[in-house]
Structure 1
Amino acid sequence: MPKVRVHNVTISLDGFAAGVNQRLDAPFGDGVGWGEELHSWFVSATRDAAAGKTSVDVEYFTRGDQNIGATVMGRNMFGPQRGPWQDESWKGWWGDNPPYHHDVFVHTHYPRRTLEMAGKTTFHFTDEPPQAVLRRAFDAAGGKDVRIGGGPAVIRQYLRAGLIDELHLVIAPMLVGRGERLLDDLGEGIDGYRVSELVGSQAVTHVVLVRR
């Protein structure tokens, strides 16, 4: 049965997944370590995977693309704009050929026209609730799994609703002190999960949560 999965979501040791004041020149926001330091493991794993190298980090990194047929994300992950779209010229952080190569559903209070990109990536903008978005995503995925790409607010929303089957967290050994926490305010939604994997590499610790 197809699953809802989250992969490669990096948090600091004190639980933060994004900084404050996210914007075009600071996609992850302000704060110590945002950007290169927090996500250095991801950059290294991407480079090593492309070179055919293997490691704990590469193994977990590559899992995130296996058997994924559609992706769901929040508007903050798609771009830096807030409020009504002033225009529709922004097409994401990833250039003309985004790395998804399938349908991507973007949660937003201000839907816009569907955006078709090179490489078979199509962005759909929706203000529907998570359950409705997942139905559309599973239809688009054609029997494959659906990935919740982020950011933190969207992941929390799906966790609170008990809609995620597998969540891969990456804990970086650094303290940030402020920003947006990933696992706050989940209520009883988190009770339905258990830790199935806890593996350390030289750079980070990988944790996988699955349904009980």
Structure 2
Amino acid sequence: MAQQVHAHMMLTLDGFGTGLNQSRERPFGTIDPRQLARWMFEDGDNNRAEIDAICSYGAYIMGRNMWAAPGPDAWEEDWKGWWGPNPPYHAPVFVLTHHARPSIAMEGGNVFHFVTEGPEVALARAREVAGERNIAIAGGVSTTRHYLNAGVIEQLHLKLVPLIAGAGERLLDGVTAKLEPIGARSTKFVTHVDYKVSKG
């Protein structure tokens, strides 16, 4: 099967992937991450297939805010992401940024590369290193929206959690891609909805 690009994202019921006032201390802003990801940490056995799927790719792409708190400034050299010494990706990760930084190798096969040349270059590099394996767009909201509208994502996997954010950054605002539902499954704290994506 030909290499594909998928995207995974957790959203509140009103469609927000991050709340207001995102910061180092609050990576999802006004959305409580313990509630947003409750399905993974409190009910992981019942969501094992979806958790394993998130971590099964040959390469990942993410925006800067998925790696560090938002802002126009250059990197803090001692900051290595939100996940500790062994992030969950276990594959090359390409981080979109305006600030160059040397690649960082971490435990478990995680290598973070910082791409200043734009989303198309990041995707080309991810395709090259992934080989025959699929690629995941790992967020955040604006990065996933860009790749949806660019027509390169074949499948979108949403995890809808029973929270109302009220404000923040909503994934589907301004999305021009067409979404065709191809699967859905509910567990205690989440509804997984899978879509086939085509260009709008």
TM-score by length of 1: 0.86
Moved over 6 A (4+): none
Structure 1 position 45, deviation (Å) = 4.2
1:38-53 matches, cutoff 5 A? 38-46=36-44, 48=45
- Which of 108, 126, 138 pairs up with 1:137? 126
User: How far apart, CA to CA, are the structure 2 residues paired with 1:38 and 1:101?
Assistant: 23
Give 2:169's aligned residue.
180
- Which of 46, 54, 59 pairs up with 2:49? 59
Contact 2:7 2:153 in 1 (8 A): yes
Structure 2 unaligned regions, length at least 5: none
User: How far apart, CA to CA, are the structure 1 residues paired with 2:83 and 2:36?
Assistant: 20
Structure 1 unaligned regions, length at least 5: 49-54
User: How far apart, CA to CA, are the structure 2 residues paired with 1:12 and 1:171?
Assistant: 6
1:28-177 matches, cutoff 5 A? 28-31=28-31, 34-46=32-44, 48=45, 55=46, 57-66=47-56, 68-85=57-74, 87-177=76-166
Counterpart of 1:64, as a letter, is I
Give 2:194's aligned residue.
208
Counterpart of 1:12, as a letter, is T
Structure 1 residue matching 2:30: 3-state secondary structure: coil
Do the aligned partners of residues 59 and 129 (structure 1) sit closer, same or farther apart at CA in structure 2, a change above 3 Å counting? same
Q: Do residues 195 (structure 1) and 181 (structure 2) align?
A: yes
Give 2:4's aligned residue.
3
Cα distance per residue 1:21-76 (max 9 Å; x no partner)? 11111111025xx2111221122244x3xxxxxx3x2222222223x111100110
TM-score by length of 2: 0.91
Cα distance per residue 1:138-180 (max 9 Å; x no partner)? 1111221111111111100101111111111011122111111
Give 1:52's aligned residue.
none
